[in-house]
Amino acid sequence: MDPYRLPRFARPTRYDLRLEPDLATLSFTGDETVTLEIIEPTAEIVMNAVELKIGEATITGERGDAHRGVATIDEAAERCRIAFPSTLAPGIWRLRLAFTGILNDKLRGFYRSSYKDASGEMRLMAATQFEATDARRAFPCWDEPEFKAVFAVTLVIEPKLTAVSNTAVKDERVAGGRKTVTFADSMKMSTYLVAFIVGELEATEPIPVGPASVRVWCVPGKRRLAAFGHEIAVASLRFFEGYYGLPYPGDKLDLLAIPDFAAGAMENLGAITFRETALLVDERAASHAELERVADVVAHENAHMWFGDLVTMTWWNGIWLNEAFATFMEILAVDAWKPEWQRWTTFGVSRAAALSVDGLHSTRPIEFHVEAPRDADAMFDVLTYEKGASVLRMLEQYLGASVFRDGVREYLRRHAYANADTGDLWAALGRAARQPIPEVMDGWIFQPGYPLVSARLDGRQLVLTQQRFTYLPEPLPGSTPTPRDQAWQVPVQVRVTAGGHSSVERRLLGASESRFDLPDRAGAVLVNEGGHGFYRVRYGSELLERLLGALPDLAPIERFNLVNDAWAVTVAGFMGLGDYLDLTARFRSERDRNVWSILLASFGTLNRLIDSAHRPRLAALVRDRVASVFGELGWTLRPGEDELTRQLRGDLVRVMGVLGDDRAVQAKAAELYRSAADLDPNVLPALIGVLAHAGDGARYDEFLAKFRSATTPQEEQRYLYALAAFQQPSLLSQTLARTINGEFRTQDAPFVARALLMSVYGREAAWEFVKTNWEMMERQYPKAGLRRLAEGVTGLATPELERDVHAFFQARRPEFGGKTLEQYLEQLRIAVRLRERESTALATYLARFA
Ligand code: BES
Ligand code: ZN
């Protein structure tokens, strides 16, 4: 039997839950009455609990017969067992438990968060984070998504505080120096969606969406930052009601910014929690990227109110049904809200991130076996989110948007207030599309990896074949072998241009080759038309040359994919680095921000591989590629410029000043920063990055002070990461020290440490520091912290460091869950191999920039 699954002989239907948190003693007391259905005779009840003390336990039957039980907690199993003196017969029972626990500082379960008030005084509040398996830290429960129940919550708090939970307040009364807040019954839902937030909170005015009011909450003084998040919250909620064809399932919707928050945000029904950067923003001072982040996260969590909260995956192996869908819907909603943001083009960057991890032998299928809680945690990765959303987009385009939507609507109706799995989704989509979905889709969900589609000419025919794409020819020694002869049903859309006209042909490419007859005088042939496919394309040289000659005819996403795929096959060793660098020269007049992001990312990777002696030449190459577009955009906003162009300006300023190490740009950045004159909000974050890169100790102190006195979450974040972007070792070591001395919030510290591991100036020292302080970090950081930090080892791209990384993890054997560690080590191998293979070619190529 699976030790991580509860026995099924007793099922909860309702929790009447009362909690009394005490911010002075950092603890809470609670009691609950769980209404249960016992299905088989039993003398014990088994449920989940951890870091709780259970006092009294009584169970009462339908006829009023009460039995005293004895509770014992098995901390390792995260369970409690309540033994009764006699057998309980099948039927309805009410189990009453009294318990106590602590408000921990690990950002999970029921935890405390701190912030400074207007007078600089430290204040505390309490919040919850239960996904995946931490509700059991706040109250004993059946903590699996399949055990849906009604929750009736009561919070007993200090009268001056506010309490928020999943549903509307039903009653509030003050007596005996305590305030008792009673909330309405919730819908039937999973334990991981329950939430309580208690503190001195401020809210915006409510905005109604149907019968529900939508509000944004924050700690005192930050309400001025709530309007933008509020606006997208309302817009996306309305959008989803239309798309899903079902009203919002809650009775109200609160969105709360919590100063300490491990993830980005959490979709608790009716009480969505966020880290401050993901909800609160000053619309006039934020960059496009910062605003887009808020819009995305808010829309994403709102999408979950149906996809995840109303219909929930049966078990964590199916978490992609939640997260991939919410990610897909987030883009759909933001795209509908601000079409000018071209969100589906920008989504290419997310798709590229998924293609990158899914090109590893140590990748996993989207749906993947989960037993232990840490394996559930490891599922929240780029494969679940970005690959999952990409294959949904591919399917949506293949079936047609309205057929797809009809299938989604039917799925939600059929499984509302219940659980579902991948097969249920295929069945609903199949009914809408009148065609079997598993044939096409199962390969994408249950197989690891994706195809590389090779395109070549054979006389007047275009020939397409597929094989799995991996960066390395073989898996790393000791890791699981890769399946042989994999194939997918690939929806290909081929666009052929001939004599000024173009036509598109759609087909499913299977395991065997597919031939297309080309018209007379066929010119450019593009295989992934529209760019929605989750695969890479490798063109024969003639086809590639034709495409490069027709770049302006390609959509931005198509140019993006062209560069992204070329870079991937270069890293894999199918294309020479010189050829790739030549290709980048064809993009000097590129104007799309996303295409630039992929070009610049590839230069960034090379920067981590290159010997420091050659770094100035790489900088010269970067300037050569960027100079023309940068010259054209200049430093200042032009009337009528769209937001994406403005964001591109910020990106280019940053790359010129940092990777390009351009002295004139650095000087101009210093001057503009000093004058603080009417800067475009897209340029300011870039200036901060450039000035850190070129900065000295005085600049460091200045930025540290700015970090401490920041007035928006975005400003704080810019200066925080700037502290990892200096070059001088003595300054970087100060930043390192701050990752464990309490100066940075533990929600951020692992990411700062990761940035230092990825910095070519800081990585050696950062690695020594991480090795030395590993246990300390493990104790301080929230549970995903070390996993996030450890991703930084992929930047330690020298053979010596790689060996040391292996030795360290060999000795430590950290348990990140799933395949995380294998993936990091394979990514590191790929980088070192690229260095070993191409460093001579790179040096030769760069000689022209001497
Ligand atoms: N359900 C997740 C939050 C979560 C993540 C809980 C990991 C437990 C473990 C939430 O819906 C989410 O996906 N949040 C994202 C932001 C989103 C916009 C991609 C996050 O936290 O990064
Ligand atoms: Zn999510």
Q: What are the pLDDT digits (tens) for 502-515?
A: 999 999 999 999 99
Per-residue pLDDT, 303: 98
Buried-state track 464-498, b at ≥16 Cβ within 10 A, e below 16: bbbebbbbbeebbeebeebeeebbbbbbbbbbbbe
With beta carbons less than 8 A apart as the criterion, state whether 757 and 796 touch: yes
State mean pLDDT over 636-651. Answer: 94
State yes or no: pLDDT of 482 exceeds 90: no
Q: If DSSP states are collapsed to H, E and C, what string results for 651-708? A: HHHHHHHCCCCCHHHHHHHHHHHHHCCCCCCCCHHHHHHHHHHCCCHHHHHHHHHHHH
Nearest residue by C-alpha to atom 8 in ligand 1: 131
CA of 323 to the centre of ligand 2 (A): 5
Q: What is the mean pLDDT of residues 402-406?
A: 98
Whether ligand 1 lies within 6 angstroms of the CB of 424 is answered as: no
Mean pLDDT of 391-403: 98
Q: Which ligand is nearest to the CA of 378?
A: 1
Residue closest by Cα to atom 22 of ligand 1? 264
Measured from the CA of 296, which atom of ligand 1 is nearest? 18
Residue 300 Cβ contacting ligand 1 at under 6 Å: yes
Confidence band for 484, pLDDT divided at 50, 70 and 90: confident
How far away, in angstroms, is 266 Cα from ligand 2 center?
7
Ligand 1 atom with least separation from CA of 385: 19
**Residue of 290, 301, 558, 590 marked active site:** 301
Q: Which atom of ligand 1 is nearest to the CA of 275?
A: 21
Find tokens 């597929």 and name the residue.
466
- Please say whether the beta carbons of 255 and 217 come within 8 A: yes
By most ligand atoms within 8 Å of CB, the mutation choice from 107, 131, 236, 276 for ligand 1 is 131
Nearest ligand to the C-alpha atom of residue 236: 1
Question: pLDDT tens across 546-560, in order?
Answer: 999 999 999 999 999
For residue 817, what pLDDT band results from cuts at 50, 70 and 90? confident
Among candidates 824, 426, 348, which has minimal Cα distance to 593? 348
**Quick check: 818 pLDDT over 90?**
no
Mean pLDDT of the chain: 96
| Residue with CA at minimum distance from ligand 1 atom 5 | 263
| Per-residue pLDDT at 741 | 97
Q: Which DSSP letter does residue 307 get?
A: B
Question: Considering only CA atoms, which residue is closest to atom 15 of ligand 1?
Answer: 264
pLDDT tens for each residue of 411-431: 999 999 999 999 999 999 999
The rounded Å distance from CA 263 to ligand 1 centre is: 6
Q: What is the pLDDT of residues 697-713, one digit of tens each?
A: 999 999 999 999 999 99
Cα–ligand 2 centroid distance for 308 (angstroms) = 8
**Helix, strand or coil, per DSSP, at residue 198:** strand
Q: Is 759 exposed, middle or buried, given 0-12, 13-18 or 19+ CB atoms closer than 10 A?
A: buried
The verdict on the CB of residue 265 being under 6 Å from ligand 1 is yes
User: From the CB of 260, is ligand 1 less than 6 Å away?
Assistant: no
CA-nearest residue, atom 17 of ligand 1: 297
Would you place residue 481 in the very low, low, confident or very high pLDDT band (cuts 50, 70, 90)?
confident
Residue whose CA is at the smallest distance from ligand 1 atom 3? 266
What DSSP assignment string belongs to 215-268?
EEEESTT-GGG-HHHHHHHHHHHHHHHHHHTS--SSS-EEEEEESS-SSSEE--
Q: Are strands 10-22 and 150-157 parallel, antiparallel or unpaired?
A: parallel
How many angstroms separate the alpha carbon of residue 273 from the centre of ligand 1?
10
Would you say the pTM of this structure is higher than 0.85? yes
Q: Which of 188, 186, 215, 217 is nearest to 200 (CA)?
A: 217
pLDDT surpasses 80 at 535:
yes
Could you give phi then psi for residue 201, rounded to 5 degrees? -105, 150
Q: 3-class SS at 740?
A: coil
Q: CA gyration radius for the chain? A: 28
Q: Give me ligand 1 centre to Cα 113, in Å.
A: 19
Q: For ligand 1, say whether the CB of 32 is within 6 Å of any of its atoms.
A: no
Indicate whether residue 604 lines ligand 1 (CB < 6 A).
no
Mean pLDDT, to the nearest integer, of 200-229? 98
**350 CA from centroid of ligand 2 (Å):** 15
Ligand 1 pocket member 301 (CB < 6 A): yes
Q: Which atom of ligand 1 is nearest to the CA of 132?
A: 8
Q: What is the pLDDT of residues 665-721, one digit of tens each?
A: 999 999 999 997 778 999 999 999 999 999 999 999 999 999 999 999 999 999 999
Residues 73-93, mean pLDDT to the nearest whole number = 97
**What is the best residue among 292, 380, 788 to mutate for testing ligand 1's pocket, by most ligand atoms within 8 Å of CB?**
380
- The yes-or-no verdict on residue 286 having pLDDT over 90 is yes
Give distance in angstroms: CA of 264 to centre of ligand 1: 6
pLDDT at 569 over 90: yes
- Nearest atom in ligand 1 to 323's CA: 13
- CA–centroid distance, 304 to ligand 2, in Å, is 7
DSSP for 55-101 reads EEEEEE-TTS-EEE-EEEEETTTTEEEEEEEEEEPSEEEEEEEEEEE
Q: Residue of the nearest CA to atom 16 in ligand 1?
A: 264
Residue-wise burial string across 62-76, b where 16 or more C-beta atoms lie within 10 A, e elsewhere: eeeeebebebebeee
Question: With a 6 A CB cut-off, is 264 part of the ligand 1 pocket?
Answer: yes
Q: How far apart are CA 647 and CA 649, in angstroms?
A: 5
Cα(294) to centroid of ligand 2, in Å? Answer: 14
Question: For ligand 1, atom 1, which residue shows the shortest CA distance?
Answer: 266
The per-residue pLDDT for range 821-836, each reduced to its tens digit, is: 999 999 999 999 999 9
CB of residue 309 inside a 6 A radius of ligand 1: no
For the segment 332-343, the average pLDDT, to the nearest whole number, is 97
Say how far apart CA 595 and CA 599 lie, in whole Å: 6
Which ligand is nearest the CA of 134, by number?
1
The pLDDT, as a whole number, for residue 2 is 80
Percent of all residues in the chain with a pLDDT value above 70, rounded to a whole number: 100
Q: Is 131 a residue of the active site?
A: no
User: 745 CA to middle of ligand 1, Å?
Assistant: 19
Substitution candidate for ligand 1 out of 192, 258, 266 with most atoms within 8 A of CB:
266
Cβ atoms of residues 553 and 415 within 8 Å: no
pLDDT score at 395: 98
* pLDDT at residue 1 tops 90: no
Ligand nearest to the CA of 262: 1
* Closest residue to atom 20 of ligand 1, CA basis: 264
- Find the 2 Cα to ligand 1 centroid distance in Å: 27
Q: How far is CA 72 from CA 40, 77, 101, in A?
A: 22, 12, 15
**pLDDT range class, residue 664, cuts 50, 70, 90:** very high
CA torsion through residues 324, 329, 335, 337, sign: negative
Assess contact for 218 and 205: CB atoms under 8 A: no
Nearest to 136 by CA among 21, 270, 30, 272: 30
Residue type, 846: L
Q: Is 389 in the pocket of ligand 1 (CB under 6 A)?
A: no
The verdict on the CB of residue 304 being under 6 Å from ligand 1 is: yes
Partner residues linked to 507 by β-bridges = 492
Is residue 263 lining ligand 1, measured as CB closer than 6 Å? yes
**Helix/strand/coil for 341:** helix
Atom 21, ligand 1: which residue's CA is nearest? 264
User: Which ligand neighbours the alpha carbon of 386 most closely?
Assistant: 1
Report angle CA 692, 693, 694 to the nearest 5 degrees. 90
Please report which ligand is nearest the Cα atom of 274.
Answer: 1
Ligand 1 atom with minimal separation from the 380 CA? 7
- Looking at all shown ligands, the one closest to residue 132's CA atom is 1
